[in-house]
């Protein structure tokens, strides 16, 4: 009986011990750049509480990818982003430019017109200047000023910020390699 009591105590004491918490997943080891990179992040202030989530997640992810020189610029709305992007690209201080904004149907302009104009202009900037421009300018088909929609798009902008950082870092690495090959006469 004494043995049974001791066995029961051992089982109880083992059950009282909390299981070990699982280890955090390993942090991915991202490639490093041969030269320092500097990125401009141009953010529209229209619906700032939503678009801020993109900037926050972008900055966190881009730092994990070994890019720590990021300058943030704010503009009133998405329509103003392309001009800022062009001026920033022409300075040659930045190896990439990221644009973030939320274009919604506000009743003045059709939101499709604004979004299309912004995206085409950003593409023109990158092709004219050879500075890559990344867009996290989103145009939902429907956006209402409700808490449900704002929460949904806040979460969506977190994802878009991470995706923009990934695309930015991968493109800059690819361009760094390509330009190195061109300079070495390997690619023309």
Mind telling me the catalytic residues? 110
SS3 136: strand
φ, ψ dihedrals at 102, nearest 5°:
-125, 115
Tell me the two tokens of residue 122.
Answer: 């950003």
SS3 106: coil
Number of H helices, E strands in the chain: 5, 4
Q: Are 126 and 175 in contact (CB under 8 A)?
A: no
123-146 burial code (b ≥16 CB/10 A, e <16): eebbeebebbbbbbbbbbeebeee
Q: What span, in angstroms and rounded, lies between the C-alpha atoms of 40 and 95? A: 8
């Amino acid at each position: 009986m004494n043995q049974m009591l001791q066995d029961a105590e051992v089982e109880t004491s083992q059950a009282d011990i909390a299981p070990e918490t699982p280890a955090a997943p390993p942090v991915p080891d991202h490639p490093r750049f041969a030269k320092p990179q500097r990125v401009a992040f141009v953010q529209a202030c229209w619906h700032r509480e939503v678009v801020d989530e993109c900037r926050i997640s972008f900055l966190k992810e881009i730092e994990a990818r070994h890019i720590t020189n990021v300058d943030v610029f704010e503009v009133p709305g998405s329509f103003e982003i392309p001009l800022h992007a062009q001026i920033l690209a022409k300075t040659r201080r930045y190896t990439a430019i990221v644009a973030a904004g939320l274009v919604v149907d506000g009743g003045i302009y059709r939101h499709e017109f604004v979004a299309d104009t912004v995206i085409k202009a950003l593409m023109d900037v990158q092709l004219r200047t050879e500075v890559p421009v990344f867009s996290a300018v989103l145009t939902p088909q429907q956006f209402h000023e409700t808490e449900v929609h704002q929460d949904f798009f806040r979460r969506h902008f977190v994802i878009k910020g991470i995706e923009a950082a990934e695309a930015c870092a991968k493109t800059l690495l690819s361009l760094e390699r390509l330009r190195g090959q061109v300079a070495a006469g390997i690619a023309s």
